[in-house]
Amino acid sequence: MSDDARQRAVYNKRLPCSVKLCPKKRTFTAQFCCTHQLRRRLHGHHLGRHIQKKEYTPYLKTVRAFLTKHQHHAAVKAALEIMASLLAPPKEEPQGKPLRLNPSWQLWRELWRLKQEGVTPQEALEVVLAVWLYSYHFPHQLRDDKRLDYALAASVFRLRELASRKQWVQNNLRPSGFVQTTSRRPGALPNALLGGRIRTALVPFWINFIKALEAEHAARAKKAADLKAAF
């Protein structure tokens, strides 16, 4: 951190967090406290949160049924091809910036993990559409902004167990020390990069998909209503 930033931080840290009713003070030079700044980093927005698998899993059934029914349709085939290219890690390890600041390298590392674990374009497309549907039905839980981008990428990264690292920890409770295993959660950089790519590449398919799904739903509702039509 530069001297200028350090000086700004001294003043900034006395100010309240910009989130309404948050009682904490700001962290370093950010406009938010450490909690809201961390949420912004991990979830793309200071009010974002982790979307758990159990929240979007119910939509997987709908998505799978749809993709199976339309598996020979050109749109589904094109979406799977796009997903395959999004999942393909570059052969060369990205160079350039230091690794902790390098989105391309961090994404490359996660894509290699998914490739080695055998993640298929089909399952990635299923989970992405399920998260998108969740956001569509519960916009207050997952807003259609950067938060959705991050959640789309996170759902793909979590198709397999995250990589973990082991470290030796000693503390007051366990003075003799122990091995702690922690998951390596992909951070803001790879989430933003993959999420943005998924949204940009697949938004025409998403619009097509939701229109078809709603038309199917309306047709079913009409049939049900017809059964009750007075003679």
* Residue 34 interacts with Zn ion (CB under 5 A): yes or no: no
Counting residues that bind Zn ion (by CB under 5 A) gives: 6
Q: In angstroms, give the least distance from the CB of 46 to Zn ion.
A: 7
Q: In angstroms, give the least distance from the CB of 80 to Zn ion.
A: 42
* Residue 19 interacts with Zn ion (CB under 5 A): yes or no: yes
Tokens representing 163?
């990589």
Q: In angstroms, give the least distance from the CB of 45 to Zn ion.
A: 13
Q: Is 16 helix (H, G, I), strand (E, B) or coil?
A: strand
Q: In angstroms, give the least distance from the CB of 29 to Zn ion.
A: 15
> Contacts with Zn ion in 60-79 (CB under 5 A)?
none
Give the residue with the Cβ less far from Zn ion, 23 or 175.
23
* Residue 30 interacts with Zn ion (CB under 5 A): yes or no: no
Q: In angstroms, give the least distance from the CB of 33 to Zn ion.
A: 3
Q: Is 164 helix (H, G, I), strand (E, B) or coil?
A: strand
Select the residue interacting with Zn ion from 26, 27, 30, 33 (CB under 5 A).
33
Select the residue interacting with Zn ion from 17, 82, 129, 198 (CB under 5 A).
17
Q: Are 121 and 83 in contact (CB under 8 A)?
A: yes
Smallest CA-to-CA distance from 130 within 225, 76, 66, 186 is with 66
Q: Where are the beta strands (DSSP E) in the chain?
A: 164-169, 178-183
Which listed range, 26-34, 69-77, 129-137, 191-199, lies at the site for Zn ion (CB under 5 A)? 26-34
Q: Are 150 and 39 in contact (CB under 8 A)?
A: no
Select the residue interacting with Zn ion from 8, 24, 50, 53 (CB under 5 A).
24
3-state DSSP helix/strand/coil % of the chain, to nearest 5: 60, 5, 35
Angle value at C-alpha 115, between 111 and 119, nearest 5 degrees: 105
Q: In angstroms, give the least distance from the CB of 31 to Zn ion.
A: 10
Q: Are 144 and 120 in contact (CB under 8 A)?
A: no
- Give residues in contact with Zn ion (CB under 5 A): 17, 19, 22, 24, 33, 36
